[in-house]
Structure 1
Amino acid sequence: MQFIHYASIAKNNIITMSQSNWNRRSVLKSLGLAAVGVPLAGKAIEAETSEINSLPLFKKDKKKLDKPVTAIVCGAGGRGWLAYSSYALKYPDELQIVGVAEPIPYRRERMAKAFNIPEENQFVTWEHVFEKPKFADAIIITTPDDLHYGPAMAGLNLGYDLLLEKAIAQSWSECNDILKLAEKKEAIVAVCHVLRYTSYFRKIKEVIDSGEIGNVVSVQHLEPIGRIHMAHSFVRGNWGNSKKSNPIILSKSCHDTDILRWLVGKPSTKVSSMGSLSVFRKENAPDGSTARCTDGCGVERQCPYSAIKIYKDERGWLHHLQLEEVNDNTITRELKNGPYGRCVYRCDNDVVDHQITNFEFEGGITVAFSMEAHSHYGGRRTRIFCTNGDMIGDEHTLTITNSLTGKQEVWDASKANNNGSGHGGGDHGLVHDFVRAVSFQDPTLLTSTIQASMESHLMGFMAEESRLDNGTVREIKL
C-alpha cells in the first residue's frame, strides 16, 4: 500500500514543539492523521474475480507481557519518533521509552515530553547513552546510516537487545562485526525490514509457501521511488551521497532485496547490475538557475523540483527539515541555510537515479529488479510467475491466477488491518513482534533478525560492486 510521509499530510498537521497540552492524547491524535496509508489510484478487478478474505497484520495476543519492554531511542527523527516510538503511545503496557539521544534540541525535548523521560536519561549524542550502566531492555537505533555501527556495537557490549534501522551498516565487514557480537552476546537484533510485517507481503508469502500455484520460476519487481521523493531524500537529503550514507540499493532498496529473498525462500547465487545518475547532475542545471532556489533563481517557478513550491507552498516533505515551529519564516530560513533549499542539479549527490539488477537464485530462479526514480507514482509493483499460475500486485491489490483451474482471485490490501502505522502497517507490525521477542527472549518471533537479513545486504553490496564494474556478474557467497 502506498503511504504518505508523516509530515506531508497537510499544512496544519505538522507536529511541532509549539503545540500546547503536549501529552499522550494530543500526540496520538496527530499520529492518527499522520500515519495512515493511502491506497493507490486505480480500478478494482472486475466482478468475474472473487475477493480473498483480508489477512490481518497482527492479532493482539491473549497472553499479556509480564511487563512493558523498556527502550532507549538513539536518533529522534522521523523513524525513531513517529515510526517506532509511537507504538509506545498506543500500547504503553507493551513498550515504554525511557531514554533518548538526539543532538537537535527540539527533537530531543519533544521525545522527552511525550514520554516523560527524566533529564538524566536525555542525551545529546548516542555515545553519552553508553556512559551509564544498562538501564533499559533495548536500544532503538534510528541514527543516520553512518552512525549505525557505533551504537550497535556499544549497545551489544552492554547487553542491550537492538531494533536496528536498515541498512545495518556501511560495509559488509561492519555488518559482520555486528552479527558476530550479537551472537556472542546472545542478543536479539531486529533489522527494520518493515515490508515483511505488512499484510500485503505476508499474503504473497502465504500463497507462495502454500504451493497453490506451484513453485516460483521467476519474478519481476519494480520500485518506483517517485521524482519528488528522490529529489528530497536521495539528492538534497540524508541519503544522496553514498560516502555519507550508502549506495541507494542499500539505503533504499535493501527493503527490496530483503523482500525478494524472503519471498523466494532460497539463497541468491549470482547478481549483475547496471545503473547511473542521469538527471540530477550539474551539467543539467537550466540556464538562469542558482545554487539555491531562494537565490533569485530565474526558473524557480517553472522547475518541478522547486524547494519553495515543495516545502513552503505545498508544505510537503517537512519531516526532515529542522523546524521547531512551522511557518513561512522558519521554512524560508531552512531553505536559505539548510540542505533542502539547494538546487537539485547542484548538490553533492552521487547515488544513481535508475538501476536494474538481475539475480539468480538456487534452482535457477531468476529475479529482475528495477529501481526507478523518474516516476510520478510510488508503491512497488511485483509479478511472480510460478509453475501453475502467477501473481501480480501493486501493494494495493494482489491478483492470483491458477493457470490449471482458471480460477482468479483478488486480494484487497486496503481492507486489511494496517494498524494505522506507516509502510502499510509494517512499522508497528515490526515493533509488535520485536517487543514479544525481547520480552520472551525468543528471536523466532521475528522474521527480520540480523541473521535473516545478512544475505539480502550481501546481495546489495555485490550488486553495487557489479554496477561499478560495468555489470560484471558476481557470485554471492555468505
Structure 2
Amino acid sequence: MKNKWTRRDAIKSLGLTLGAFAIPNSTFSFDENKNPILLPNKNLDLKNPITAITCGAGNRGNVYGGYALAFPEQLDIIGVAEPIQVRNERYATKHNIINENRFDTWEDVFKRPKFADAIIITTPDNLHYGPCMKALEMGYDVLLEKPISPSEKECRDILKLAKSTGRIVAVCHVLRYAPYFVKLREIIQSGVLGEVVSIQHLEPIEHIHMSHSYVRGNWHNSKETTPIILAKSCHDLDILRWMINKPCEKIQAFGSLSWFTNKNAPEGSTNRCTDGCTVEANCPYSALEIYYRKRQRNYVFDLPEDESEQAAYVLEQLKTTDYGRCVYKMDNDQPDHYTSNILFEGGITAAFSMEAFTSYDGRRTRIMGSLGDVAGDMSSFVMTDFLTGIKTEWKQESDSHGGGDWRLVTDWIHAVSENNPNLLTSTIDASIESHVMGFMAEKSRETNQVMEVKV
C-alpha cells in the first residue's frame, strides 16, 4: 500500500499521537431504563424537524425515539403502532401523540394517506419486511432495525424497491457510527498498519444476556425469528466488511447448541424456577435471582408505574412467561458458540467468534498488519508500530452499543432532510452484503461446506 504521507504524519492526521492519547469523555444522555447513551458529535440546523411514525414501541423503538425527546428541533415522533397497549400508551404519552395517530398494528398505519416524512421500523425481526415494503411504496423514508429480514429474498426485495422508488433506507448497523470502529477503519484505510493481513474479532455475548435473549427470550427459536448469526452478529459481519472495505469471497462456519439443553438439566430442577427447584440457589441462570432478587433486565416486563407493585408483578411474570422457565427445559435452538472463518478479496482473512459463555460483554478486536497491529476492546485500543515499538493508545467512554445509536439517527435525519443517502454509511445497499455473509455462514454451519458469497 503506497502512502503520500510518512507514517508519522498519518498517525497525527488520525488524531493520535505517538505515546498515549485519550479522547475526552463525551456528554451522555440516558434511555428510559437509565442506561447511558452517547450524544451525537454534530449539530443539525434544520428548518423543520423530520416527522416520523414508529412501528414497534419496544426497547429499540424507545432508543431511537428517545432522540426526538432530546432533539425535538430535529425529529418529531407523531405516530406509533404497537399492539401491546401499555407500550402504546406510554410511547404516545412520552411523545405527545394524538389518539388518531395511535395504531395497534403496522398495517393500520398504511391505511391512511402518507402523513409523515419517515417510518422507524423496530418491530420483531420477522415483521420488518411488510412495513418496510409498504412504507417505500407510499413514499416514506425508513430507519430499519437490523436484521433487514430473516429471508435473503426479502432483503433483496427491499433493496430493489428502495432503488426503484429512490427512498432512503438506513439499516441500524449502529457499530458503523461507534467512535471505536470509526477510528479503527480510519487506521486501516490510512495505511499506517501497512498491508492488513488478518483480523480476529470476538463478540462475547455474556452468559446472562445469552440466557435472557436467546434461551428464554424473543430470539430463542431461530425458525420462528432469526438465526443468531443475524439476530446478534450481523453487526459484526457488517463491521468487518466495512473496516476492510473489500468484498467477502468465502465463508465457513461451525457452532452448535451445547449447554442449554435438557440433558444438562441438574437433578432436582423444575420446569420453572418458581416451582420449588432444589438447585435454584446454586444456578447462575436462576430467573428468581436475575429478574426478581437483582431486578435485572426488568424492562421486558413493562413494569407498573407504582414501584410498590413491581416486585409482585415480576414474580407473577416469572410464573407465566418464558422468562421464568428453566434454561435447560426451553424449546430453544440457537447455538451458544459460533465460529466463522472469512476470506476477503486480496487474501485478507478474518476469524469471528460469537461466544455465550463469558462473564463480560463488549467486542474484542485484533488487527494484524505488515507494519503494525492493533488490539482493542471497544472502549479503547493500543496500536503498536513494529519499526519503533512505540505504542499509541486511544480510549473513550461509551455506551452499550459503542456510542453509535444516536449518531446513526443524526446521520439518518441529515440524509432524509437533504434527500441524500450518501450522508449515511449504513444504507440498504451497503448492508446487503453482510446479511448475505450471515445467510451463507448459517448454510455453511448446517451443511459443513465452504460457501461462496455472491451479492
Same fold (TM over 0.5): yes
Contact 1:37-1:424 at 8 Å conserved across structures = no
Q: Can you list the C-alpha shifts for 1:275-310, whole angstroms capped at 9, x where unaligned?
A: 000000111111111111111111111111010110
Match of 1:329, as an amino acid?
Answer: A
- Give the match for residue 191 of structure 1: 171
Distance apart, 1:31 and its partner CA: 3.0
Q: Output aligned runs, 1:31-46, within 5 Å.
A: 31=31, 34-36=34-36
Equivalent of 1:99, from 79, 87, 90?
A: 79
Deviations 1:213-234 (A, max 9, x none): 2121100011110000000000
Residue type of the partner of 2:453?
A: I
1:129 shift after superposition:
0.6
Matches within 5 A, 1:307-318: 307-318=287-298
Contact 2:29 2:37 in 1 (8 A): no
Match of 2:365 in 1: 382
CA offsets, 1:314-373, max 9 Å, x none? 010112224334511100111111121111111111010001100000000000001100
User: d(CA) in 1 for partners of 2:382 and 2:127?
Assistant: 41
* In structure 2, distance between residues paired with 1:300 and 1:90: 42
Post-superposition offset of 1:205: 0.9
8 Å CA contact retained: 2:121, 2:145: yes
How far apart are residue 30 of structure 1 and its match?
6.1
Structure 1 CA distance for aligned equivalents of residues 334 and 209 of structure 2: 14
Report deviation, 1:210.
Answer: 1.2
Residue identity in the other structure for 1:464 = E
Alignment match, 1:430: 408
Alignment match of 1:130 (pick from 110, 131, 139): 110
- Of 123, 130, 141, 2:121 maps to 141
Match of 1:356 in 2: 339
Which consecutive aligned stretches of 4+ in structure 1 deviate over 6 angstroms post-superposition?
A: none
CA shift digits 1:34-90 (9 cap, x unpaired): 23279xxxxxxxxxxxxxxxxx962224xx112100110000001001x10110011
Equivalent residue runs for 1:149-298 within 5 Å = 149-298=129-278
Could you tell me which residue of structure 1 aligns to residue 22 of structure 2? none
In the alignment, structure 1 segments of 5+ residues that lack a partner are 1-27, 39-55
- Does structure 2 conserve the Cα–Cα contact (< 8 Å) formed by 1:213 and 1:390? yes
Tell me by how many angstroms 1:422 deviates: 4.7
Distance 2:386 2:167 in 1: 45
Distance 2:140 2:450 in 1: 39
- TM-score in terms of structure 1 length: 0.87
Q: 1:37–1:376: structure 2 CA closer, same or farther, 3 Å change rule?
A: farther
Q: What 5-or-longer segments of structure 2 have no aligned partner?
A: 1-27
Query: What is the CA-CA distance between 1:155 and the residue it aligns to?
Result: 0.9
Which whole-Å deviations, capped at 9, do the CAs of 1:233-260 have from their partners, x for residues lacking one? Answer: 0000011111111110000000100000
Cα distance, 1:429–1:30 mapped onto 2, change above 3 Å = closer
SS of the residue corresponding to residue 422 of structure 2 reads: helix
Structure 2 CA distance for partners of 1:37 and 1:139, relative to 1, 3 Å? closer
CA distance in 2, matches of 1:333, 1:186: 49
Q: What whole-Å deviation, never above 9, does each CA across 1:102-134 have from its counterpart, x for those lacking one?
A: 011111111111111000000011111111111
Secondary structure at the residue paired with 2:437? Answer: helix
1:106–1:324 CA contact under 8 A, matched in 2: no
Shift of 1:196: 0.7
CA–CA separation in structure 2 for the residues paired with 1:384 and 1:222? 12
